[in-house]
Amino acid sequence: MATRLRVVSGGVQAVVRPDSAAVEHVDELGIPFPPMQELDLEYDRSYAALWCVQRHSERPNFTTSLIADIAGVQKAMKAGFEAAAPETPPVRYLIWASSKRNIFNLGGDLIHFVELLEARDRDGMWDYARSCIEICHTNHVNMDLPVITIALAAGDALGGGLESALSSDLIIAERGAQFGFPEILFGLYPGMGAYSLVARRVGARIAERMIFSGRIYSAEDLYEMGLIHTLAEPGEGEQALHDYLKRADKRFHSHRSLFAARRVTNPVSFAEMEEIARRWVDTAMSLGKLELRKMQRLAKAQIARMERDGTAPDGEAAQTTPPARAKAASVHSPRPPRERARSQAEGAPPSAPPSPQITGRDAAPSPQSIKGNAMPKDADHNSGVLSREHDAAVIPVSNAPAQRANGKAEGETGGSVYDLIIDGVAETRAAATLQPGVERLLSEGMSREEYLEFLEQLYHVVWHFCPTMAAAAAHCGEDRRALRYALYHNIDDEKGHETWVLDDIRALGGDVDAVVRGKPAIPVQAMIGYNYYAAERLNPWSVLGMVHVLEEISANYSGRVAKAVAERLGITDGAGFRFLSSHGTMDLHHVAGFRELVNQITDPRDYEAIIDAANVNYALFGALFKHA
């Protein structure tokens, strides 16, 4: 037997049904729904509301299975309305939702894209694109049926996930959910209706800003833009939806007619969406290996996140209170329980509100900085539900688990943000650290003159380490508080270490004053200049690319280089090796803290900025080894 929750009038109801209870036809509705793989259907008789809940059993994206299920629902709806009496339509509200707590839909199936693009399968890309715009446009025009379509986004809706939500008449979103079009990150753009739908609602300027920037927006941001109709507190999205149904049902025809009038005033034709999708396919076919690797990294991150954020397993007991009345007619296969809104009806006591979700961008780290876990920031949500009511006229981070310092956390799948960063810099790291110059340093050490020249260049790198982090911190707003606080504490750990390098130079008889007044080598100048530029002009998170490279190299090579040079020079008392010897052990702890911090990232632009910066720093640091 499988337990699941089913939406009913005034609250929720726990229902137990055998797994074999799925049916192909529902007599009460008279709609011939086909078997479903990626959708669970539920019917709320009180409001004639049909819930279509995305299961995301494969991936949190528009897989071909999910697309086929949505098309099947749309086709069955048309057939059901044709067979029903005009005065008693079987459905008034069509609701799109998700079974995942923090994910509505993360967009196009990137794994499928990579497979098709690597095979140069243009026809396959077009088939996918056309199937997407068919279901999106069909939902946009409400299947030409007298219904109201609603997207309930309790979690993130990115790329095609946001396009699908925008195709509905209205969006109800919970605070903490994130929205955006990150496709620009890998050289694409949202081609299944984003430009048309956003431009019709709030103008072409905002549409282009959202698409070109790749920015991830909060639910509050989209509410202020006018793209979200109702803004609910975390965990209260379904209650907000029920409140809307209760208010709107008395004026259903006026609401439906107004949404229809909006489509008449600002029509989006299928031909328009088709032409945009063709251009999208053309662009996709021009992508190179770098863009495809970014797609693969993003897909891994999405799957790993879904596994971390997954709902309770089938059969887990639900903490809900059955309502005093109203039963629901079941439609199709059972699904895992999901968190429902608190019941406010007929004596059902309200449960305690859920804790606010703290994402990587909203979490502030502990005083241990990069070495510690993140602490939640103070809650700053207004109570209640905000709604853009038009009755008068009566419309991309989940919390990653803490990582063990010596490896992956329990259940880690290899798709964490840290793993994606390591994968994204592997080639450049190998090129920098496996070159003959590095091998010679490790096996033969350096002469005194070579080592002093190396320390001179290292002095300039270390001198700018803290100022670069400070520059990045200065560009971190409240949405990047976790990074800002981590940088503050890391600066406190690292400040003054350039004097250790000078002490080593002095111990070996070098000219400290000349080093301080001197100019670094070209690779070092390029590294320093790039890191300031990236931190201040590109993305503050890029500074972690510098941090990762310098501390990873220190942790893995400093002690070995110090040992090889000391043996060659015959130094046994450690004089001249304070910096290298100390950082060989200190930075092991920093590397573990780096893993923990980056695994909080939810915006793909942020970890791609780290990867880009790390690749530049590896390349330039490799040139420094060569120079030395």
Pick the CATH number of 2-346 from 3.90.226.10, 3.30.70.3040, 3.20.20.60, 3.40.50.150: 3.90.226.10
- What CA–CA distance (Å, rounded) separates 417 from 115? 22
Return the closest-CA partner of residue 302 out of 214, 417, 218, 191: 417
Task: List 172's β-bridge partners, or say none.
Answer: 152, 230
Residue 496, phi-psi category: left (phi > 0), alpha (psi -120 to 50), beta (remainder): left
- What CA–CA distance (Å, rounded) separates 78 from 90? 11
- Which of the four pLDDT bands, split at 50, 70 and 90, describes residue 395? very low
Decide if pLDDT at 391 tops 70: no
Decide if pLDDT at 233 tops 70: yes
Other CB atoms closer than 10 Å to residue 477's CB: what's the count?
A: 9
Other CB atoms closer than 10 Å to residue 364's CB: what's the count?
A: 17
Q: Which of the given ranges, 87-91, 318-322, 514-518, has the highest pLDDT on average?
A: 514-518
**Burial tier of 278 (Cβ tally within 10 Å: 0-12, 13-18, 19+):** middle
What local confidence, expressed as pLDDT, does residue 538 receive? 93
- Which of the four pLDDT bands, split at 50, 70 and 90, describes residue 553? confident
More confident residue, 441 or 210: 210
What local confidence, expressed as pLDDT, does residue 345 receive? 37
Return the closest-CA partner of residue 328 out of 13, 20, 10: 13
More confident residue, 278 or 349: 278
- What integer is the mean pLDDT of 541-567? 86
The encoded tokens of residue 12 equal 């929720």
What local confidence, expressed as pLDDT, does residue 335 receive? 35
Other CB atoms closer than 10 Å to residue 478's CB: what's the count?
A: 11
> What backbone torsions phi and psi does residue 120 show, to the nearest 5 degrees?
55, 40
What are 414-425's pLDDT values in tens digits? Answer: 467 888 888 888
Q: 329-331 and 386-387 as β-strands: parallel, antiparallel, unpaired? A: unpaired
Decide if pLDDT at 366 tops 50: no
- What CA–CA distance (Å, rounded) separates 465 from 484? 15
Decide if pLDDT at 383 tops 70: no
Q: Where are the alpha helices (DSSP H) in 27-121?
A: 64-83, 110-118
What local confidence, expressed as pLDDT, does residue 310 receive? 52
For residue 162, give every residue at least 6 positions away whose Cβ sits within 8 Å of its Cβ, in sequence order, or none.
Answer: 107, 179, 180, 181, 190, 194, 396
Would you say how long the chain is, in residues? 628
Pick the CATH number of 417-627 from 1.10.760.10, 3.40.50.300, 1.10.10.60, 1.20.910.10: 1.20.910.10
The encoded tokens of residue 376 equal 């939640």
pTM of the model: 0.63
Q: 170-174 and 230-232 as β-strands: parallel, antiparallel, unpaired? A: parallel
Which contiguous run of DSSP H or E holds residue 326? none
The encoded tokens of residue 335 equal 């699904």
Residue 44 contacts residue 51 (beta carbons within 8 Å): yes
Residue 516 contacts residue 502 (beta carbons within 8 Å): yes
Considering the chain, tell me which residue range(s) the CATH 1.20.910.10 domain(s) occupy: 417-627
Which contiguous run of DSSP H or E holds residue 7? strand 2-8
Considering the chain, tell me which residue range(s) the CATH 3.90.226.10 domain(s) occupy: 2-346
For residue 93, give every residue at least 6 positions away whose Cβ sits within 8 Å of its Cβ, in sequence order, or none.
Answer: 47, 48, 49, 50, 147, 148, 149, 150, 245
What local confidence, expressed as pLDDT, does residue 622 receive? 76
Torsion, Cα of 39, 40, 41, 47 (10° steps): -110
Task: List 96's β-bridge partners, or say none.
Answer: 52, 151
